């Protein structure tokens, strides 16, 4: 049985290396784009095949409040529409949602394997460690209310609560144990270091990072740097979300990062910049100034390859 587990790991890692390598090195021509699409489609197919083998009626003994029908519908939706995943209303799950979007987009089979393992056995083997969510979060998953669509997305509740329970940073130091309602408190907050650690451990990605929780990245030409990073891999940004929706209603705005997004594209339009990024379950397009881009950006993480 042990050799079987190793074989599965080896197979998944090989697939991952292939997909990332393809994305990085061959994304220049149409043939490569088609190849990437076919690799991702194949991974989606494997993920859906895993779903087909799950008992759709009996609830999991580890997750008493997760409804199998809602769990499976959510899982299917996540595999088929990886962009749609979002953190729900009034939660601090944005970091986990941004990272899961990447995992779903490029490794839907890995995501499905891990979440099914959580559901069936109450724990899962990642690339570098075994994760076992606490009883508190296992009881809480499926009971979150007044979170918008997240109320009925039981797989997302399980996933986000498990990630928040597993990964801890200095922001969570005074609130380690989950209490009902903690999904929008410091218990669920993600600082930049924790976010990068999650990327490395959960997805086994190689991450290049600039910036921090307090000081913006020291880049003279931030637009040029971001464009360059987009050419070399997948770019995630740690930003102040209030600056993506600038208003003059407030006298004071805390100069600190609050949100994680995935950068898709960046274009110059005269003096302005058109930025395209994933945020809250949608591809988002807007025009901002160079100054605003600089002010809102606190961290840039680039996933290159394993």
Distance CA 305, CA 233 (A): 8
284 binds other proteins (CB under 8 A): yes
Contact 158, 141 (CB under 8 A): yes
SS3 223: helix
The three-class DSSP label of residue 216 is: coil
> At its nearest, how many Å lie between other proteins and the CB of residue 286?
4
Residue placing its CB nearer to other proteins in the complex, 238 or 278: 278
| Contact call for residue 286 and other proteins (CB under 8 A) | yes
Among 149, 170, 228, 231, binds other proteins (CB under 8 A): 149
Are the CB atoms for 233 and 24 separated by under 8 Å?
yes
CB 206 within 8 A of CB 304: yes
CB of 64 to other proteins, least distance (A): 17
The answer to whether 121 and 62 are in contact (CB under 8 A) is yes
Map residues 195-234 to x or -, x wherever contact with other proteins holds by CB under 8 A: ----------------------------------------
Give the pair of three-digit tokens for residue 300: 């840039």
CB 101, CB 81: distance < 8 Å: no
Among 152, 171, 210, 230, binds other proteins (CB under 8 A): 152
283 lies in the site for other proteins, by CB under 8 A: yes
* 288 contributes a contact to other proteins by CB under 8 A: yes
DSSP strands (E only) in the chain: 124-125, 130-131, 207-211, 234-239, 259-269, 272-279, 282-289, 297-303
Which residue stretch of 156-164, 193-201, 209-217, 280-288 sits at the interface with other proteins (rule: CB under 8 A)? 280-288
Among 123, 267, 285, 306, binds other proteins (CB under 8 A): 285
Nearer to other proteins, 113 or 292 (CB): 292
Using alpha carbons only, what angle is made at residue 116 by residues 83 and 121, rounded to the nearest 5 degrees? Answer: 150
Q: Which member of 1, 52, 247, 291 binds other proteins (CB under 8 A)?
A: 247
- Contact with other proteins (CB under 8 A): which of 45, 61, 246, 255? 246
- Select 164 or 275, whichever has its Cβ closest to other proteins: 275
Q: Which of residues 58-77 bind other proteins (CB under 8 A)?
A: 70
Q: One symbol per residue from 77 to 116: x for binding other proteins (CB under 8 A), - otherwise; what is it?
A: ------x-----x---------------------------
Closest CA to 108 of 197, 207, 42, 56: 42
Q: Please list the residues that pair with 130 across neighbouring strands.
A: 125
Plot region of 281 (φ>0 → left; ψ -120 to 50 → alpha; else → beta): left
Binding residues vs other proteins (CB under 8 A): 70, 83, 89, 145-146, 148-149, 151-152, 244-251, 272, 279-280, 282-289
């Amino acid at each position: 049985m042990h050799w079987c587990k190793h074989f599965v790991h080896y197979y998944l890692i090989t697939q991952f290396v292939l997909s990332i390598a393809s994305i990085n090195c061959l994304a220049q021509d149409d043939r490569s784009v088609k190849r990437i699409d076919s690799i991702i489609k194949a991974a989606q197919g494997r993920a859906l095949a895993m779903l087909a083998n799950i008992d759709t009626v009996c609830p999991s003994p580890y997750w008493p409040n997760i409804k199998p029908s809602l769990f499976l519908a959510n899982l299917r939706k996540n595999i088929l529409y990886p962009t749609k995943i979002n953190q729900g209303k009034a939660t601090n799950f944005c970091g986990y949602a941004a990272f899961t979007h990447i995992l779903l987009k490029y490794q839907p089979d890995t995501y499905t394997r891990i979440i099914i393992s959580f559901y069936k056995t109450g724990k899962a083997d990642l690339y570098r460690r075994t994760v076992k969510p606490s009883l508190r979060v296992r009881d809480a998953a499926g009971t979150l209310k007044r979170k918008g669509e997240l109320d009925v997305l039981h797989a997302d509740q399980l996933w986000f609560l498990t990630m928040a329970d597993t990964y801890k940073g200095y922001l969570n130091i005074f609130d380690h144990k989950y209490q009902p309602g903690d999904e929008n408190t410091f218990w669920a907050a993600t600082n930049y270091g924790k976010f990068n650690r999650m990327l490395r451990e959960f997805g086994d990605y190689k991450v290049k990072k600039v910036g921090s929780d307090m000081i913006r990245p020291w880049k003279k030409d931030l637009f040029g740097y971001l464009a360059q990073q987009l050419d070399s891999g997948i770019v995630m940004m740690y930003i102040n979300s209030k600056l993506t929706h600038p208003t003059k209603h407030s006298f004071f705005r805390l100069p600190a990062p609050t949100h994680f997004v995935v950068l898709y594209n960046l274009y110059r339009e005269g003096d302005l910049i058109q930025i395209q990024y994933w945020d809250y379950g949608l591809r988002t397009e807007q025009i901002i100034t160079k100054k605003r881009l600089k002010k809102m950006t606190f961290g840039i993480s680039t996933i290159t390859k394993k």
